[in-house]
């Protein structure tokens, strides 16, 4: 990861290979959004923008030799897509993320921030780190920036600047580790290997403890959903519990993640094209794992427990058949009418086990339904659950600058799960598939405050990169969950 620093300095006095200057729009055109420049210098920059054809569109990047009087070698103008009055901290994060990604061969990048607000500085630095992300495990990638410096008029002490850098680096690492896990081929990230990664965190992080259920323990303890999904694969399933205990904490929050390391659809097999990205079906588990790791490193004052529900959904002679009945951990029986509706089965077990410990609230995160993509597209996650907790997640997403939208859980869809032989089916009617999946999960949380985040589309970007988001694994929802955890810490 790039080295991040914050300094108080005039942008024109900053030495770097590239000085990135944000561009905002206005009624009279586009303007450089900088501070601590002489009026003459600001005017000279603004005069260049129309000549260069700088539009101000989010992520647009125009690089020129630095004008006389600037210490940087070159200047890169990056569009924010916003008017100066509407510009928010997360907008700068996205603009700087796009800029740093576009400057992948540059060793030292300086980001000019006009504000002295610590949150704005933090988001700027975070954007730079996220934009510098590359996944080079299987292919040589351009080297990211070695050093990112955020320059601003902020008169903070060195310790305060260092604290901002530490926080940004911890959060960026969590997001980027989710991206890494999502991008790894399924052959190299089986349920057992995923569990090993979690156990390694338990050994390296003093504040974390990890327990893993193997297939024998899962059978002994009655985790019929996880076993049923995983029984068709040569790679056995796992359930992982990762606990963070904070000194003096008054509340405990649980996070449950869907961890299907590859989803063929089982005997209800997917079309070949639909299978191409199914190595990503473990994103929910990666998200809750890295969120708890980041929270422990940040020292949040709330107890956390992450549950990773890990299985590989494959067709074979031992696979669960349509019409089979599984007994879930809660004791509820489920007729499997679609083996490709497997995520809710592993989550049902994980949720039931999580609420057994009586957390103050539980959130599950999953690449659960194609219906989410149909309804909300590839950048907006759907959020369902109990009203208060669902709304808390939406507020946290707004604060984190991640797109999430509240969705209902209509009672009339429940009839689609009626079964002649079991308490319920695992797949309902054709309409409202995202909502039906939420209704299925609701049966496993009892009275515990709960929210379900469907990240099927936003978890993996198959199109071109945008803002601070690369192509491939995105790391979506980590920032939202950390903001939600922080809000509960503040209330405690």
Which residues have a catalytic role annotated? 270, 344
CB burial string 411-443: b at 16+ within 10 A, e below: eebbebbeeeebbbbbbbeeebbbbbbbbbbbb
Helix boundaries (H) for 205-315: 215-221, 224-230, 272-275, 283-298
In degrees, rounded to 5, the angle at the alpha carbon of residue 401 between the alpha carbons of residues 291 and 297 is 25
Alpha carbons 452 and 470: distance in angstroms, whole number: 25
Measured CA to CA in angstroms, residue 40 lies from 45, 68, 69, 147, 201 at distances of 9, 12, 11, 29, 53
H or E stretch at 384 = strand 381-385
Alpha carbons 450 and 361: distance in angstroms, whole number: 6
- 114 HSE (CA, 13 A, CB side): 16
User: In 3D, which of 110, 153, 119 has the Cα closest to residue 10?
Assistant: 153
H or E stretch at 382 = strand 381-385
Alpha carbons 488 and 301: distance in angstroms, whole number: 9
User: In 3D, which of 426, 248, 281, 442 has the Cα closest to residue 362?
Assistant: 442
Helix boundaries (H) for 53-157: 89-102, 118-131
In degrees, rounded to 5, the angle at the alpha carbon of residue 256 between the alpha carbons of residues 402 and 299 is 70
Measured CA to CA in angstroms, residue 224 lies from 124, 146, 239, 336, 456 at distances of 46, 48, 12, 12, 24
């Amino acid at each position: 990861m790039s080295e991040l620093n914050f300094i108080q300095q005039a942008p024109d006095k900053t030495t770097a290979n590239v000085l990135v200057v944000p561009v905002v729009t206005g009624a009279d055109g586009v303007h450089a959004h900088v501070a601590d420049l002489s009026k003459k210098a600001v005017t000279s920059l603004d005069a260049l923008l129309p000549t260069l054809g700088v539009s101000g569109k989010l992520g647009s990047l125009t690089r020129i030799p630095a004008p006389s009087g600037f210490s940087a070698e070159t200047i890169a103008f990056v569009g924010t897509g916003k008017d100066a009055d509407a510009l928010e901290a997360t907008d700068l994060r996205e603009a700087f993320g796009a800029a740093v990604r576009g400057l992948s061969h540059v060793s030292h990048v300086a980001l000019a921030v006009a504000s002295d607000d610590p949150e704005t500085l933090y988001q700027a630095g975070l954007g730079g780190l996220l934009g510098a992300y590359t996944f080079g495990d299987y292919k040589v990638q351009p080297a990211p920036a070695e050093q990112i410096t955020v320059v601003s008029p902020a008169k903070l002490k060195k310790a305060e600047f260092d604290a901002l850098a530490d926080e940004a680096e911890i959060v960026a690492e969590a997001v980027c580790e989710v991206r890494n896990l999502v991008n790894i081929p399924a052959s190299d990230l089986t349920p057992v290997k995923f569990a090993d990664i979690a156990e390694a965190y338990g050994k390296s992080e003093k504040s974390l403890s990890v327990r893993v259920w193997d297939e024998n323990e899962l059978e002994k303890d009655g985790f019929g959903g996880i076993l049923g999904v995983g029984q068709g694969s040569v790679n056995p399933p796992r359930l992982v519990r990762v606990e963070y205990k904070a000194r003096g904490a008054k509340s405990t929050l649980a996070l449950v993640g869907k961890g299907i390391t590859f989803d063929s659809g089982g005997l209800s097999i997917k079309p070949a094209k639909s299978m191409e990205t199914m190595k990503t079906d473990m994103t929910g588990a990666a998200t809750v794992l890295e969120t708890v790791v980041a929270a422990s490193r940040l020292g949040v004052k709330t107890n956390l427990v992450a549950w990773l529900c890990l299985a590989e959904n494959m067709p074979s002679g031992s696979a669960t058949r349509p019409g089979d009945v599984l007994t879930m951990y809660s004791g509820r029986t489920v007729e499997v009418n679609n083996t490709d509706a497997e995520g809710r089965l592993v989550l049902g077990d994980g949720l039931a086990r999580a609420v057994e410990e009586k957390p103050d609230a539980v959130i599950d995160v999953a690449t659960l339904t194609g219906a989410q993509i149909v309804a909300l597209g590839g950048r907006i996650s759907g959020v369902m659950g109990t009203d208060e907790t669902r709304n808390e997640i939406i507020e946290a997403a707004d604060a984190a600058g991640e797109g999430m939208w509240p969705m209902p859980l209509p009672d009339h869809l429940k009839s689609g799960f009626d079964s002649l032989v079991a308490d319920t089916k695992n797949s309902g009617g054709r309409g409202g598939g995202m909502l039906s999946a939420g209704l299925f999960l609701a049966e496993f949380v009892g009275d515990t405050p709960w929210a379900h985040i469907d990240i099927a589309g936003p978890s993996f970007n198959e199109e071109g990169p945008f803002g601070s988001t690369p192509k491939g694994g995105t790391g979506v929802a980590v920032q939202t969950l950390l903001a939600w955890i922080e809000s509960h810490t503040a209330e405690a």
